[in-house]
Structure 1
Amino acid sequence: MNKIFNICALLFFSAVFSQIPTLDVENQKKNSVILQEVKIETKILGNLASTTATYIFYNPGDRILEGKFTLPLPEGVTISGYALDINGSLRDAVPVPKERAKEVFESIEKRNVDPGIIEKVAGNNFRTRIYPITARGTRFIRITYNQELKNSATDYQYFLSFANAVNIPKFNLKVLVDESLTTPNITENPDGSFTFQKKGNQWVAEINKTNFTPNESLKITIPKVNESSNVLVQKASDNKSYFAASVAMNFPVKEKAKSQKIAIIWDNSFSGSKRDHKKELDFLNAYFLENKDIGVSFVLLNNILEKTEEFTVSGGNWSALKNRILTLKYDGGTDFSALKEIPQTDEYLLFSDGISNFGDLTLKFKKPVNSIASTPTSDFNLLKLLALQSGGNFINLNELDTQSALKTFNRLPILFLGFKESNTIQELFPNVGTAVNEPVNIFGIASPNLGKLTALFSVGNKKFEIPVDFNNAVQADKWPIAQFWAQRKINDLELNSTQNSDEIRNLSEQFGVVSKNTSLIVLDDIDDYVRFGITPPQELLPEYNKIVSQNKKQILEKRKSLLSKAFDKTRELATWWNSEFKPSEKKQYPTISKQSQKTSGQESLVSDEAVYSASNSDKTKSKGKITLIDVESNQEYMKDFQTLQSAELIYQKYLENRPKYEKQVTYYFDVSKLLFKKGDKTLSLKVLSTLAELDLENEELYKTISYLLKQRGNYEKELWITQKILEWRPFDPQSHRDYALALVDNKKPQEALNVYKSMLYQEYTDEISVRDTGIEEILIMEINNILSQNKNVDASKVDDRLKANLPVDIRIVINWNKDNTDIDLWVTDPRGEDCSYSHRSTEIGGRLSNDFTQGFGPEQFLLKKAIKGKYKIKTNFFGERQNILSGPTTVMAEVYLYYSDGRQERKIAVFQSQKENKRESDSKILIGEFEF
């Protein structure tokens, strides 16, 4: 099995876009990836800029690497171009639905070829994955994005951050400013020699350096022409044009009424520690200088909404509140579903990055919410939506200084009311009735020969008119005005992304803009474009069309449903269940070895550790007994907790030590388990939910969370987590199954049955069909269990060929959280016979499902009739894909007595590999016993 080493680098941006990404491989410092060359070119026209950045990385090590890094972009900016080198030259990516891109990427990745994708994840963050970066090989990537420049009364401002830049062997930076009548002014210079010279109708500045480390970032101001508006136009079809109009506004500021009582909602989740608290405190200080006597309700938001604290600010003295903020501890996930109205509040100030990773926002506030962002990784759209729906203001401290932010907070919003001559304009953005900043950039589709138009605005009950002269529009057909327009429309639609998903996807695919619903993908082989039905870039189109026309049926991707195999598996299970098993007198069996049978040495027989047990009937008391094992952590940090008796002391030590283990998944997993043992479910859940903050849309972390939630009976959150995983990975049968099982836990058997049905009928790629061969056996048992345990469900939803009455004395299922992983289930019966991957049936009737050597599993053991004695349950970590960020593989074992016969009992064990992803001779772990 391939071992793929993930590189995870979260890049933090200053103002616009940090142009110097760094890739590090944890625990492989000698073989870290080197950034060999950077080439950046920015074109500026009026208040619009288009930037293309090319990076060349070198892998000096002797192992294949997978590249993964996350790019936070500022409010309103998105990726509009991506290219990856194929056979030494850059190939442009093409747009495809997001989940499809991920499915195709993972299918091709298994063949060790060269796909690359870039996708939008939570907030305005963009993640690119590149595979493979070969041993002692190089990879090129090119990223293009469009942005509107920061707009002031006298100039436009362009900023390019080189914060934390390292030495770069080859560095090229070029900026071209079109149609500017005056020389652009460089106020921050990377090396002092970067200067503009006039070339034709452009101002051009360029530097070429070797072994260069930028001393400063680049900041350029471009003086405006003395006009109230500037218009750029790009021709479209049907004799129409896309336009971008920069409209200056000099309206009298009308301030909103002052509040007597405010509520501050302070996000102190783990990610809250990454916000710019200095900017936030400076803003509050300025606010209280103007609002000297005011009541403040202060409430903390993490994975819960904590108890409200009351403060009184008198004479502008807010020191008590400030000290409370300065001493806050940041921990836990973020759950916007916990938000509630706070009584006797005139308005809210919400300080958060807006990324809710533990629940969805459901509350519509009755009083204005002023949402305040101070980190470039924020979900700007959600924060704007909160403000827009409630009548508050959105304040972006990434772009506004303190006084400008306070001015924005205090004023009544300026509303854009469209153009007086509305019949000549289509598809305006911002939308009519939307609050806008000043100056404003207006995008739309226009008829020709517009002449002079009038833009309408309102402040409070007063209306204002601004002339916009299309006669002086600059024809910019080589500029992506259409992409700017599409980007604006998508940003608007993403305020309600679920409702508008189809329209977002269509726009993204049409204009090549990355969105929540659409990614960009590059494939290595022309046959893969044909096979997966993806239209390639222009240079491959002739060959693509030729192959499609000549050989379509042979090359198009094979997709299979699970249904026919499920019918066969139902018959096979029924035959097995109806068979009689008469064991011989022999009680000694040969050892079956894929690895040595030694146990890990890390388990201890203890009282069932935080396991959940449920009986569905008061029928005859079961004679069997389940004892699960607590697989203890062997991490060095656990020694620090050994002498601590109370949950509160353990939690304080956890916070104290966390900086040393901040990105180590096992740390949160182990401490959460420890706190749960001590009986503190609240603190245990807070620590567990922090795992959701370690990465964006990471299904491996979310599966780990869902396993522990299921084990602890927190079924409502289990359902939310599994639903998110299903949204990200609808192409995995396991995602559907986990969601269906969560529905069963939430006493929604009919909905679960519907999910199982759709799972069997859905078509999967050939790779996934092969990877998951045998999963039908597990699904059939679970479908029939729903039918036997819930007599009121509509059984007509299930094909009769899938129905079978299959009660068993013992059922064990192991599940794991990582793809490309081989974990084996071993069950030893009282006679000493092992049931395992190479001996899948025993003399007493034990039956093991298919051995999943890659994928997420699951594997299942069944025994219809148990004989007296002890049964041992073990797992073997045979092969794991090492994903550094997600930590070692997490396994959930569901252990049942009397499955489907009315006396059903379940206990659950959740544990992680203790072997640091290495094959060891003693890697088998004892996880439990049955006794009959």
Structure 2
Amino acid sequence: MYKWLMLSASLLLMAQAPHVAAQSIVTRPALTVKTTPRETPVQLRAVTVNAEISGPFAQTEIELTFYNPNRRILEGELEFPLLEGQTVTGFALDFNGKWRDAVAIEKPRAQQVFEDVVRGNVDPALLQVTKGNNYKLRVYPLPAQGIRKVKLRITEHLNSAGGVYRLPLSYSALSRLRVNLNITNNDATLRTPEGLSELQDLELKPRGTSGQSLQFDEANFTGEGMLEVQLTGASETATFSQNLQGQRYFMAVVPRPQLTVPRIAPQSMEILWDSSLSGLKRDHDKELALLEGYFQKFPNLTVKLVRFRNVADAAETFEVKGGNWEDLREALLKTIYDGGTDFDALNAPPGASERLIFTDGLDNMTEAALAASSVPVDVVSSAVSSDPVRLKFLAQSGGKSINLTRLSKDQALQELLYGTVQLQKLTARGAKNLVVHEDPESWTIAGILTDNTAQLSYQLAGETQTLKVSSASPRSTQVAPLWASWTVEQLRGEERLNEAAIQRLGKQFNLVTPQTSLIVLDTVQDYVRYEIEPPAELQAEYQQLIQEQDNTVQTQKRNHQDMVLGLLQGYQDWWKKDFPKGDVPKPAEPQKSGEAEGEEGIAFDMAETNDTEMRLSRNEMPSPSVAAPASMAPSPEPVAADTAGGVPQPAGNQISIQLKKWTSDAPYIRRMQEAQARDLYAIYLDERPEYENSTAFFLDVADQLFEKKLPDLALRVLSNLSELELENRSILRIQAYRYLQAGYPELAIPLLEEVVKLAPYEPQSFRDLGLAYQQAHKDQKAIENLYRVVDQQWDGRFSEVELIALNELNAIVHASKTKLDTSFMDPRFLQDLPVDLRVVLTWDADNTDMDLWITDPNQERVYYGHRLSHQGGRISHDLTGGYGPEEFSLKTAKKGKYTIQADYYGSRQQILAGAVTLQAKLITHFGTPEQQEQLITLRLKDSNDNVFVGEFEVK
């Protein structure tokens, strides 16, 4: 998927980082654009920053103006991480010079609404969190040769005893940069790094009677670095309050006593080193420097090193003597970073008296539930893109989460080597819903007042302390949003158990959370259509329209059920019909307009969908009575024995399946094909830097490794797809399909469960998961998911998908060797309808039209324009809106060969998309105990591309 903009960490990070030396900041170019040779990258033309720094609070609004120089409309995607302590508290889209604020709704529903509205060619925008601290902003449209503006509001809590406010200014060829900072602190100082040479003369100026300010307006700006404002303040307790939505929120900042207790020297330690592909993005110099200090403090240790990625490697043991850890250091430096991240490896019993985990906290394969640790666990993160909440949760049994992106080397070593005073036994009178936010210099206690004043009680170093807070404390508009954000962080420690509470807070405070996203729609009618509460300026009109909208949910459900039963009845009528198996007769006289193309008396009306009329714009229309040209239907080459080949059947017709061995024409493929098996992985690592963001590369390499009988390495390479783009359901589907094709349904199921969470509004999500459960021999779960497809109402672009899922459900029920519970189904749906041949085609790209073509022994082609053959081959309704499935069925097969092709007609996606990946499943004796199937995954490059998939041979 094309990104019109992918921001590096340095663009939007306004992080608190007390006492961090300037040289510890890693800056990167702020703008990285992926595009195709035929398209011009979108330009970031102007940036306007308005920031208010008041006491321990900072609020920054960033307005971004983008220009699309291409001659077609695009959808835009902006990805960016935030650092620990930062919260997105606002997002707005510009409509002809007027900003419209976003509102929070359920995350999957927000994505569904956004994509529905995009298909209607109106203006939506969506902001969502993917994993950890990573955010994704989607905007449509970016007008052809036009501009679009978005605005983000970010709130953070700075340490009142002396924090650092940072404003990243890493831009290339920016036509205009405007900055306006207002600071209430009179003693703040400004630092400008050398990379911002154009701004070296800047200085803070007095603002009225109190505070300081900084304003500048630069044209044609280019720079790299961060402006830093060092704040000062008294190390004393401070309280703040805010009245909002009938509640009185408070915040109390409690300075942390600088008392430390040296840690007891461990007898042995275990290092768990995240060696997944994302590990390349960690700052290994900082991590090794931290270990250097650790072994100076504890110079004699037995260390067990465990590298983990998609699976854990075997442990290695090292002896550190006299502080000499060179062997361990050398081993860490030689680590190969490859594969996805599975935290299930962390559940192995500890093999030492202390554990140290180096990771970014992003578990992208299973979301493993972690068992409690019996030994102290410290967690170290040096990655800008991370999951701070998960990192804190990983630290157990008195351990700490140490963030090297905001701590200096000395601070981090202090945290690791010494225990610190902890705030304990917190209670309150006159307040509720307390939450504690911790930083190196202070604790901040926030909550809701139930009285005008409240008394907090807590213990520090065994001594009881008290603190009074009042609704009359100094006011700040940041108190309530930060309380909500910190409460969400606390709930995310057990996210699966707290999803509803997180969702409620996200909606109430308009926050981006794992359960809620922010969305902006164009018209009030769009808000009414999806029953989304709009911003304040549209409320009056919304309430009037929503009252006029009839509640027709039950009626629609009955109509849906009747529609599915009608589809099933038509399929049954086709199945009961006996079709001739002789040659195709000569063409009859032309039929009258509206008559069915199929056999007379069959309820399945071949003209009912007007598919042919929909496609008259094609350059070539395939003839139903002529064989495919040789160039379109080459002789199949058998694939590896574990994925395809002849499949003899124990009963009925003897039917074999041959699949076309598909091979990429990428330049690295020949090199790998000519190499010996022992050299393949080294060649892959050598080629990877050039293709590190290409899904096709990892798929191709995995294919080569599977073919050379290196399944463990193939699975490792394939698992990299989880690391490429967080929460991209297309990539997750492709990865799962490949696991299924290779015979690993247990690896596919967690990925497809994630897809269900991301896109429960797409029937393919439940269908894919159901079929994966079937392959894993979990038939009950399989039919439960497939019935979701049958029973729910879907968008019109998924027309008749219910019948395909119902056929698959019935096949499982009637072929299962165990009695399945079908009591939750309408019994009228249960029908035993086995067929000799079945082909199903699916693909990964939304808004994309793919066609299934079957040519039978009569040389008669069945396709969207000729949906029923002379001998009874039937093809399903043509789905042109993305994903498929398209299905071919033949109850009784004539002897001979049946050729399967896929035709890529085109795409209506408003993004610069890459190659489309399709999956074809060929099945014999479908719906019987003798059922056999083979899967193949292929990739198409351009519209009008046509590929040979495989063939059946009936003997």
Taking structure 1 as the reference length, the TM-score comes to 0.92
2:442 pairs with 439, 444, 463, which one? 439
User: Following the alignment from structure 2 to structure 1, what is the Cα–Cα distance between the partners of residues 29 and 471?
Assistant: 39
Cα 1:101–1:174 shift into 2, 3 Å: same
User: Following the alignment from structure 1 to structure 2, what is the Cα–Cα distance between the partners of residues 293 and 56?
Assistant: 57
Determine if contact 2:926/2:932 at 8 Å carries over to the other structure.
yes
Determine if contact 1:197/1:205 at 8 Å carries over to the other structure.
no
**What SS class does the counterpart of residue 114 from structure 2 fall into?**
helix
Determine if contact 2:300/2:321 at 8 Å carries over to the other structure.
yes
Cα 1:899–1:72 shift into 2, 3 Å: same
**What SS class does the counterpart of residue 720 from structure 2 fall into?**
helix
User: Following the alignment from structure 1 to structure 2, what is the Cα–Cα distance between the partners of residues 173 and 464?
Assistant: 47
| Aligned twin of 1:313 | 320
Determine if contact 1:231/1:470 at 8 Å carries over to the other structure.
yes
| Aligned twin of 2:297 | 290
Determine if contact 1:247/1:468 at 8 Å carries over to the other structure.
no
Cα 1:347–1:842 shift into 2, 3 Å: same
Unaligned runs of 5+ in 1: none
Structure 1 position 318, deviation (Å): 0.8
**Structure 2 counterpart of 1:655, which letter?**
L
User: Following the alignment from structure 1 to structure 2, what is the Cα–Cα distance between the partners of residues 504 and 19?
Assistant: 34
Does 2:666 align with 1:643?
A: no
Structure 1 position 470, deviation (Å): 4.0
Structure 1 position 471, deviation (Å): 7.1
User: Following the alignment from structure 1 to structure 2, what is the Cα–Cα distance between the partners of residues 530 and 42?
Assistant: 35
User: Following the alignment from structure 1 to structure 2, what is the Cα–Cα distance between the partners of residues 537 and 244?
Assistant: 28
**Structure 2 counterpart of 1:99, which letter?**
P
**Structure 2 counterpart of 1:91, which letter?**
R
Cα 1:674–1:879 shift into 2, 3 Å: same
Cα 1:561–1:857 shift into 2, 3 Å: farther
| Aligned twin of 1:786 | 812
| Aligned twin of 2:100 | 91
Structure 1 position 241, deviation (Å): 2.5
1:172-251 counterparts in 2 under 5 A?
172-178=178-184, 180=185, 182-188=186-192, 190=196, 191-192=199-200, 193-214=202-223, 216-225=225-234, 227-236=235-244, 241-251=248-258
User: Following the alignment from structure 2 to structure 1, what is the Cα–Cα distance between the partners of residues 502 and 97?
Assistant: 34
User: Following the alignment from structure 1 to structure 2, what is the Cα–Cα distance between the partners of residues 120 and 837?
Assistant: 40
1:430 pairs with 427, 436, 441, which one? 436
**Structure 2 counterpart of 1:930, which letter?**
E
User: Following the alignment from structure 2 to structure 1, what is the Cα–Cα distance between the partners of residues 58 and 29?
Assistant: 19
User: Following the alignment from structure 2 to structure 1, what is the Cα–Cα distance between the partners of residues 463 and 559?
Assistant: 61
1:774 pairs with 800, 819, 826, which one? 800
| Aligned twin of 1:456 | 458
| Aligned twin of 2:936 | 909
Determine if contact 1:25/1:33 at 8 Å carries over to the other structure.
no
Structure 1 position 251, deviation (Å): 4.5
User: Following the alignment from structure 2 to structure 1, what is the Cα–Cα distance between the partners of residues 860 and 664?
Assistant: 29
| Aligned twin of 2:710 | 680
1:814-833 counterparts in 2 under 5 A?
814-833=841-860
Structure 1 position 665, deviation (Å): 1.5
User: Following the alignment from structure 2 to structure 1, what is the Cα–Cα distance between the partners of residues 730 and 634?
Assistant: 24
| Aligned twin of 2:20 | none
Structure 1 position 892, deviation (Å): 1.2
Structure 1 position 13, deviation (Å): 3.5
Determine if contact 1:664/1:885 at 8 Å carries over to the other structure.
no
User: Following the alignment from structure 1 to structure 2, what is the Cα–Cα distance between the partners of residues 533 and 23?
Assistant: 37
| Aligned twin of 2:943 | 918
Determine if contact 1:622/1:903 at 8 Å carries over to the other structure.
no
Cα 1:854–1:199 shift into 2, 3 Å: same
| Aligned twin of 1:383 | 391
**Structure 2 counterpart of 1:183, which letter?**
D
2:4 pairs with 7, 14, 21, which one? 7
| Aligned twin of 1:415 | 422
1:45-444 counterparts in 2 under 5 A?
45-150=54-159, 154-163=161-170, 165-178=171-184, 180=185, 182-188=186-192, 190=196, 191-192=199-200, 193-214=202-223, 216-225=225-234, 227-236=235-244, 241-342=248-349, 344-364=351-371, 365-388=373-396, 390-417=397-424, 419=426, 422-430=428-436, 437-444=440-447
User: Following the alignment from structure 2 to structure 1, what is the Cα–Cα distance between the partners of residues 766 and 837?
Assistant: 24
User: Following the alignment from structure 1 to structure 2, what is the Cα–Cα distance between the partners of residues 39 and 557?
Assistant: 51
**What SS class does the counterpart of residue 219 from structure 1 fall into?**
strand
Determine if contact 2:276/2:341 at 8 Å carries over to the other structure.
yes
User: Following the alignment from structure 1 to structure 2, what is the Cα–Cα distance between the partners of residues 448 and 608?
Assistant: 74
1:539 pairs with 534, 537, 540, which one? 537
Structure 1 position 121, deviation (Å): 0.6
Q: Which 10-residue stretch deviates more, 795-804 or 819-828? A: 795-804
2:881 pairs with 839, 842, 854, which one? 854
Cα 1:371–1:775 shift into 2, 3 Å: same
User: Following the alignment from structure 2 to structure 1, what is the Cα–Cα distance between the partners of residues 191 and 784?
Assistant: 62
Structure 1 position 493, deviation (Å): 0.8
Determine if contact 1:109/1:131 at 8 Å carries over to the other structure.
yes
Determine if contact 1:428/1:442 at 8 Å carries over to the other structure.
yes
| Aligned twin of 2:768 | 738
Cα 1:465–1:236 shift into 2, 3 Å: farther
**What SS class does the counterpart of residue 630 from structure 1 fall into?**
coil
1:659-674 counterparts in 2 under 5 A?
659-674=689-704
2:906 pairs with 863, 879, 885, which one? 879
Cα 1:213–1:457 shift into 2, 3 Å: farther
Cα 1:684–1:881 shift into 2, 3 Å: farther
The alignment yields a C-alpha RMSD, in angstroms, of: 2.9
**Structure 1 counterpart of 2:578, which letter?**
E
User: Following the alignment from structure 2 to structure 1, what is the Cα–Cα distance between the partners of residues 645 and 377?
Assistant: 44
- For these two proteins, the number of residue pairs brought into alignment is 903
| Aligned twin of 2:835 | 808
**What SS class does the counterpart of residue 823 from structure 1 fall into?**
strand
User: Following the alignment from structure 1 to structure 2, what is the Cα–Cα distance between the partners of residues 498 and 617?
Assistant: 46
User: Following the alignment from structure 2 to structure 1, what is the Cα–Cα distance between the partners of residues 728 and 291?
Assistant: 35
**Structure 1 counterpart of 2:463, which letter?**
F
**What SS class does the counterpart of residue 31 from structure 1 fall into?**
coil
Cα 1:20–1:138 shift into 2, 3 Å: farther
Taking structure 2 as the reference length, the TM-score comes to 0.90
**What SS class does the counterpart of residue 505 from structure 2 fall into?**
helix
Determine if contact 2:255/2:441 at 8 Å carries over to the other structure.
yes
Structure 1 position 23, deviation (Å): 5.9
**Structure 1 counterpart of 2:118, which letter?**
E
1:333-355 deviations in whole A, cap 9, x for unaligned? 11112334355411111111111
| Aligned twin of 1:521 | 519
**What SS class does the counterpart of residue 155 from structure 1 fall into?**
coil
**What SS class does the counterpart of residue 53 from structure 2 fall into?**
strand
Unaligned runs of 5+ in 2: 16-26, 589-611, 613-617
Structure 1 position 543, deviation (Å): 1.8
Determine if contact 2:721/2:731 at 8 Å carries over to the other structure.
yes
**What SS class does the counterpart of residue 842 from structure 1 fall into?**
coil
Identical-pair percentage: 30
| Aligned twin of 1:710 | 740
Determine if contact 1:809/1:865 at 8 Å carries over to the other structure.
yes
Cα 1:267–1:898 shift into 2, 3 Å: same
Determine if contact 1:39/1:173 at 8 Å carries over to the other structure.
yes
Cα 1:537–1:556 shift into 2, 3 Å: farther
Does 2:939 align with 1:930?
A: no
Cα 1:333–1:97 shift into 2, 3 Å: same
Determine if contact 1:155/1:221 at 8 Å carries over to the other structure.
yes
**What SS class does the counterpart of residue 814 from structure 1 fall into?**
strand
